[in-house]
């Protein structure tokens, strides 16, 4: 696969960065890393950040270096990239059912601690057979549906039945419950998020009690995301947290109202674009369109807007609406765009340019970019 041109070199000035480029404000990024690590440290909970947000071994290593027990990812392809880069503990927060993918996952478990989710007894049998054949052990979590209505068995007896199946299978180790409420991450009001996670916590806690009453240890309840992690942390139920987007943030998370006691993470990730046309006083066009940004959570915001609004995008054009009361941007001017949704935006790039002030300090490969299998 041909990688994208490296948009900058270490030591380059901002003006030398070729656009569109995915750019990281390193001071803010490190603040976000440290804030999460510090508030979780000493809480008795483990931090396992979700790497589907950044797809970068360099960032994963920075998280593990600050105390994370490992990372999460969503696909076997991603897990292979992170294990190859030296990340020794990877939880695939997904059901893996294709035989070839299960075999690859089992081979990864020969050299790293590999976790995976199940919500079907047939999948348990397939995972066990592959683990035995590979000569390793897969760490298996029962996924329960705590409100997102995506994957997952119902809490309670169905989860217990799966736990029994895992415990009775060679090559597998039952680790606990995966109780992630993705839909709660973007409920705008703090009270809505708190109520959603309170219900998820009740369901997960009751299921753990049922499993342990059957004589099966259930040491881990894992879940949480950037929008709700404090709720899970304070629940007395969850033992492990999986926030991912906190390192970057995006326009959609910026729409969440925060409670007075909620920790605020700052925007560190941008798509740097260049004004390539100023056809009218009310319109300017940048070189970042649908192929440079994810639009599933709406268009990007213009950082330090100066009366600029990202009005619409086409394949390679982004049209900015210009407030007539403000000065029109100049041809060649740089514009910093805040992605609507950071995760799929990152997946459009091969490189992330780390800026310290006005200079490029690092250029990291997004090594798991496009890893969707």
> For the segment 267-277, what is each residue's pLDDT rounded down to a tens digit?
999 999 999 99
| CB-based contact 226:263 (threshold 8 Å) | no
Would you state the structure tokens that stand for residue 26, as one six-digit string?
């390193």
CB atoms within 10 A of CB 10: 11
DSSP 4: P
pLDDT digits (tens, 9 = 90+) for 292-347: 999 999 999 999 988 999 999 999 999 999 999 998 999 999 999 999 999 999 99
| CB-based contact 269:249 (threshold 8 Å) | yes
The residues facing 336 across adjacent strands are 272
Q: ω before 143 within 30° of 0 (cis)?
A: no
| CB-based contact 155:188 (threshold 8 Å) | no
Q: Would the pLDDT of 2 be above 70?
A: no
| CB-based contact 53:343 (threshold 8 Å) | yes
| CB-based contact 217:177 (threshold 8 Å) | no
Give dist(CA 127, CA 213) in Å, integer.
26
| CB-based contact 307:280 (threshold 8 Å) | no
DSSP output for 265-296:
----EEEEEEEEEEEETTEEEES--TTTS--T
Give dist(CA 228, CA 224) in Å, integer.
6
Give dist(CA 234, CA 226) in Å, integer.
14
DSSP output for 46-82:
EE--BTTTT--HHHHHHHHHTT---EEESSHHHHHHH
CB atoms within 10 A of CB 368: 26
Would you state the structure tokens that stand for residue 210, as one six-digit string?
């049922």
Q: What's the pLDDT score for residue 3?
A: 80
Interacting residues of 6 by C-beta distance below 8 A, sequence separation 6+ = 351, 363
How far are the Cα atoms of 71, 334, 335, 360 from residue 15, in angstroms, in the given order?
35, 8, 11, 10
**Length of the chain measured in residues:** 373
Q: What's the pLDDT score for residue 133?
A: 98
pTM over cut 0.95: yes
The residues facing 10 across adjacent strands are none
**Mean pLDDT, rounded, for 177-198:** 98
Q: What's the pLDDT score for residue 359?
A: 98
Q: Would the pLDDT of 369 be above 90?
A: yes
pLDDT digits (tens, 9 = 90+) for 25-79: 999 999 999 999 999 998 999 999 999 999 999 999 999 999 999 999 999 999 9
Q: What's the pLDDT score for residue 306?
A: 86
DSSP 254: G
Query: What are the counts of helices (DSSP H) followed by strands (DSSP E) for the chain?
Result: 9, 17
* Element housing 209 (H / E): helix 190-213
Q: What's the whole-number average pLDDT of the chain? A: 97
**Mean pLDDT, rounded, for 236-265:** 98
pLDDT digits (tens, 9 = 90+) for 77-103: 999 999 999 999 999 999 999 999 999
Q: Would the pLDDT of 1 be above 70?
A: no
């Amino acid at each position: 696969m041909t990688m994208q041109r490296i948009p900058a070199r270490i030591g380059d000035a901002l003006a030398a960065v070729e656009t569109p480029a995915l750019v990281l404000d390193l001071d803010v990024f490190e603040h976000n890393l440290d804030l999460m690590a510090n508030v979780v440290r000493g809480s008795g909970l483990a931090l396992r950040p979700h790497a589907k947000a950044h797809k970068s071994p360099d960032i994963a290593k920075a998280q593990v270096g600050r105390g994370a027990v490992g990372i999460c990812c969503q696909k076997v392809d991603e897990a292979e990239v992170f294990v190859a880069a030296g990340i020794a503990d990877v939880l695939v927060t997904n059901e893996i059912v294709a035989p070839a993918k299960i075999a690859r996952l089992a081979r990864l478990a020969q050299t790293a601690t590999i976790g995976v989710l199940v919500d079907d007894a047939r999948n348990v049998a397939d995972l066990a057979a592959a683990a035995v054949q590979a000569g390793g052990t897969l760490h298996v979590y029962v996924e329960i549906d705590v409100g997102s209505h995506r994957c997952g068995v119902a809490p309670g007896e169905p989860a217990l039945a799966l736990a029994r199946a895992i415990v009775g299978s060679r090559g597998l180790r039952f680790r606990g419950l995966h109780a992630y409420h993705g839909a709660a991450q973007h409920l705008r009001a703090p009270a809505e998020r708190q109520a959603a996670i309170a219900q998820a916590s009740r369901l997960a806690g009751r299921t753990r009690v049922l499993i342990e009453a059957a004589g099966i240890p259930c040491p881990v309840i894992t879940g949480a995301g950037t929008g709700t992690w404090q709720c899970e942390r304070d629940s007395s139920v969850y033992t492990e947290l999986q926030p991912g987007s906190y390192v970057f943030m995006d326009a959609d998370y910026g729409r969440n109202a925060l409670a007075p006691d909620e920790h605020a993470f700052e925007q560190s990730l941008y798509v740097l674009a260049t004004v390539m046309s100023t056809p009218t006083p009310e319109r300017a066009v940048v070189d970042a369109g649908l192929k440079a940004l994810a639009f599933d959570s709406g268009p990007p915001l213009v950082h330090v807007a100066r009366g600029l609004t990202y009005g619409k995008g086409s394949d390679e054009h982004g049209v900015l609406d210009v407030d007539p009361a403000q000065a029109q941007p100049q041809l060649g001017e740089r514009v910093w765009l805040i992605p609507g949704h950071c995760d799929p935006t990152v997946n459009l790039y091969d490189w992330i340019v780390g800026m310290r002030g006005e200079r490029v300090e690092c250029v990291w490969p997004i090594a798991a970019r496009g890893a969707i299998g």
